[in-house]
Amino acid sequence: MAYTDDALKAKLSTLNETQDSIVSVSQWIMFHKRHADRIANFWLTSLRDSVPARRLNYVYLVNDIVQNARQRRRTEFPDAFSPLMPEAIQTAYRSSSPEIQQKLRRVIEVWKSRSVFEEPIVQAIESRIHDIDKAKGGGGKKTLMGKSLFSSSSGMEVPKELESLVPLQIALTKAAIAGKPSIDTAESEYAKLNGPDTLLPSPPVYAARLSSLIKSLAAAESSISERIKTRNALILDLQKTLEINKAALAADEATYAELTSRKGDTEAKKREVEDSIMKGLASNDDSAEHFDAAASSARSGSAGYISLAPEVEELTPEPEESPAAAPATVLVPEVGTGQVRTASAQSLNGPSAKRQKVSHEETVVPDLGDMGIGNFGLVNDGNGRGVGADLDADVAELIRQESAKS
């Protein structure tokens, strides 16, 4: 059966959400792969004209066609449907209920994970859905779990330094998608009219075809011009970002060199300190060994004894002062003999006399020697006998009698 638009329309009218229906229509379409561009454009027109509830079936149909073509390594249908998908998904998503929107998100997740369509196509689809969700106030691209559908796996936002690049890249992707059909059409018409086996039609028909080719080439030229303009703007921003990063790189390298130098100097100082610590420990060990040897020699009583006691300065007696007046002579009797010996002033100020200093006044304590207590108070009378200086006459007489008997 030859391909016709009416035949395709009849097939699409029988399409429903069941797998059998989708696979049946998909196989019929893939059989007519030579008409891939024509089928894709008719599919988009039918999707626009269908009710919102049936638009999901059209998306399921394309999913099956393109995935089977990828498995068979056929590029006709992926190339034909790719430029149309952003607009088709936008149309289906905008008019669908939340339940159908969630199903469309699942399909797009499959496309992204399996690389059914190229990355620029998927990005353009994501951008269209994000705009719709943002306009509705939904915050954009939510899944059932509340997470972003098209966010990166790390969940990080675009850095501030790269924010200016995102709109340019999106615009470039849209321009590439929008311009592809016009470029393909221009190249196809040009090949038909300028091929080596092409038969030239009559001049009026040939002129009309040339006019049509000129229009196609002009549309393709405009599309390429817009793409070049957007790409140059993107390159300019990339160059600015590159220069900023080059300057930052030079600063980082200088800082790295300085830190490396400081680290080397610090390590050298550390080694010097450790070496000095080790030398100090070795010196302390030698001193300890010398001390142990000296102590051992002292304990054994050898000639190498070293006195560890501190030296004490000997006490030197203060110089004697000459007495201002000669003291009175005191008669001291010899114990057991009854004889009296004279105690001179020298015995009171001799070397054995003890001196005490109290409130800066000198008090002399005489050396008593062998004198008894009973000899105190006797004064020499010139005859070798002590006479009581302050005693009563009776007491003095008694003392003289005792002295005469002895």
Residue-wise over 225-244: b if at least 16 C-beta within 10 A, else e?
ebbeebbebbeebeeeeeee
Alpha carbons 133 and 242: distance in angstroms, whole number? 34
Q: What pLDDT, on the 0 to 100 scale, is given for residue 198?
A: 79
What pLDDT tens digit does each residue of the chain (406 aa) get?
Answer: 678 888 898 999 899 888 889 999 999 999 998 898 899 989 998 998 888 889 999 999 999 999 999 888 888 899 899 989 998 999 999 888 888 999 999 999 999 888 899 888 888 898 889 888 887 765 444 444 344 444 443 344 667 777 778 788 877 877 777 777 788 888 888 888 888 887 888 888 888 888 888 988 998 898 888 889 888 988 998 998 899 999 999 999 999 999 999 999 999 999 999 999 998 887 776 666 665 665 565 555 544 444 555 555 555 555 555 544 444 444 444 444 444 444 444 444 444 444 444 444 444 445 444 444 444 444 454 444 444 455 567 777 777 877 777 6
Residue-wise over 121-143: b if at least 16 C-beta within 10 A, else e?
bbbbbbbbbbebbeeeeeebbee
Which position has the token pair 């409130």? 359
Q: Six-digit token pair at 122?
A: 């998927």
Q: What pLDDT, on the 0 to 100 scale, is given for residue 214?
A: 92
Q: pLDDT of 136-170, one tens digit each? A: 765 444 444 344 444 443 344 667 777 778 788 87
Alpha carbons 292 and 290: distance in angstroms, whole number? 5
Q: What pLDDT, on the 0 to 100 scale, is given for residue 266?
A: 95
